[in-house]
């Protein structure tokens, strides 16, 4: 009989040009020399896969675990991903010391037509740390047309058409596929997304990296005009616990739970969906399958779809993210 238990992972680090060392400075992460832009916390992608770091399956790649456990790991709601040999989600931390490129991600239909077996990317961001005057780019300004934007890119002056959105720690940004966007310098984010690494850059602030202008122009949603920050939607209250939905789409639902020290959340995984929990602040312990794991800030755990009953206990005043498949 398979033993299902809360899974921890060793992150996969990426040293893109815009990164920094805030994951070390702010959260005590051990980093290699140089810059770290992204920490792939839970990942099963061709461009980066994480290994289990605890319990009987320590050392096993997530992709290997999915091959063995199948829908018992990811859940029947992820059958669409399982049939393509995909893990459904990708969890990251991003340290944007400098601006990321202005970019867009395709939807599934476009990605499958143009990028082989790769899927599109719908994602969301939770702002963990923000320098003064930090902002993101999301969508376009009113009146922007594809023709105007194409000309602006050709003339290397897209900024007048980009919608800038100030952000601070705790803010949430939902980024559907087709959203023109950029994470600007001075931000550390948690990112929850479809398991895809397809990005079309249209502008890169003068850096000599490849652009993908024609594909980008085909998938940008020019009707996404001056969007605002996502407003968390309170869903329930229990003693010592408040819960709100941050982002909901066809691929995932993410909730934020505020738990008082000593508060206890009881849940269950009965085969329908995996759950991914992460601490944003404070600390908690997760018990399930006869095992207990600690979740200091900032740490994520994967609860297999067939885990059964589990409990989350806050050891301090704690903020957590819970993500599952709709």
- Residue of 201, 181, 203, 200 whose CA lies nearest to 191: 181
**Cα separation, 224 vs 142, whole angstroms:** 9
**Cα separation, 187 vs 281, whole angstroms:** 16
Q: What is the pLDDT of residue 210?
A: 97
Q: What is the pLDDT of residue 7?
A: 98
Average pLDDT value over all residues in the chain: 97
pLDDT category, 263, cuts 50, 70, 90? very high
pLDDT at 158 over 90: yes
pLDDT digits (tens, 9 = 90+) for 134-155: 999 999 999 999 999 999 999 9
**Helix, strand or coil, per DSSP, at residue 215:** helix
- Residue of 99, 101, 176 whose CA lies nearest to 134: 99
Q: What is the CATH number of domain 233-324?
A: 2.60.120.10
Q: What is the CATH number of domain 9-219?
A: 2.60.120.10
pTM: 0.97
- Residue of 91, 101, 93, 94 whose CA lies nearest to 44: 91
Count H helices, E strands: the chain? 7, 25
Same fold yes or no, 9-219 and 233-324 = yes
pLDDT at 2 over 90: no
Give the Cβ contact number of residue 236 at 10 Å: 11
In the chain, where the domains are located:
9-219, 233-324
CA distances from 178 to 109, 169, 200, 201, 215 (A): 12, 25, 10, 12, 11
Q: Is 209 a catalytic residue?
A: no
pLDDT category, 237, cuts 50, 70, 90? confident
* Burial of residue 69 (number of CB atoms within 10 Å: 0-12, 13-18, 19+): middle
pLDDT digits (tens, 9 = 90+) for 76-108: 999 999 999 999 999 999 999 999 999 999 999
**Helix, strand or coil, per DSSP, at residue 17:** coil
* Burial of residue 54 (number of CB atoms within 10 Å: 0-12, 13-18, 19+): middle
Who has greater pLDDT, 236 or 292?
A: 292
Q: What is the pLDDT of residue 236?
A: 82
The residues, any chain, with a CB within 8 Å of residue 298's CB and separated by 6 or more, are 27, 93, 128, 190, 278, 279, 280
Q: What is the pLDDT of residue 247?
A: 98
With tokens 């949603």, the residue in question is 221
pLDDT digits (tens, 9 = 90+) for 171-201: 999 999 999 999 999 999 999 999 999 999 9
Annotated active-site residue in 84, 157, 201, 270:
201
């Amino acid at each position: 009989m398979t033993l299902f238990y809360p899974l921890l992972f060793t992150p996969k680090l990426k040293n893109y040009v815009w990164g920094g060392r805030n994951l070390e400075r702010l959260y005590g992460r051990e980093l290699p020399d140089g810059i770290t832009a992204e920490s792939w916390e839970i990942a099963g992608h061709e461009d980066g896969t994480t290994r289990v770091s605890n319990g009987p399956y320590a050392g096993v790649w997530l992709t290997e675990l999915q091959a063995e456990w199948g829908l018992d790991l990811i859940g029947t709601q992820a059958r669409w991903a399982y049939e393509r040999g995909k893990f459904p989600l990708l969890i990251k931390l991003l340290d944007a010391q400098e601006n990321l490129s202005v970019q867009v991600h395709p939807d599934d239909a476009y990605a499958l037509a143009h990028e082989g077996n790769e899927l599109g990317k719908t994602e969301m961001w939770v702002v963990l740390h923000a320098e003064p005057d930090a902002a993101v780019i999301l969508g376009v300004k009113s009146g922007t047309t594809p023709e105007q934007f194409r000309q602006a890119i050709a003339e290397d002056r897209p900024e007048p058409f980009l919608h800038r959105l100030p952000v601070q720690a705790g803010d949430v940004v939902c980024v559907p596929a087709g959203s023109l966007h950029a994470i600007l310098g001075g931000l550390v984010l948690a990112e929850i997304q479809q398991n895809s690494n397809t990005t079309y850059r249209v502008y890169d602030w003068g850096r000599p990296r490849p652009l993908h202008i024609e594909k980008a122009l085909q998938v940008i949603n020019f009707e996404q005009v001056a969007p605002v920050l996502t407003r968390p939607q309170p869903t329930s209250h229990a003693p010592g616990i408040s819960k709100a939905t941050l982002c909901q789409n066809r691929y995932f639902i993410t909730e934020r739970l505020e738990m008082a020290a000593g508060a206890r959340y009881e849940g269950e995984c009965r085969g329908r969906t995996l759950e991914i929990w992460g601490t944003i602040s404070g600390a908690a312990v997760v018990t399930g399958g006869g095992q207990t794991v600690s979740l200091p800030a900032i740490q994520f755990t994967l609860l297999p779809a067939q885990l059964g009953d589990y409990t989350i206990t806050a050891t301090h005043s704690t903020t957590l993210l819970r993500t599952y498949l709709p």
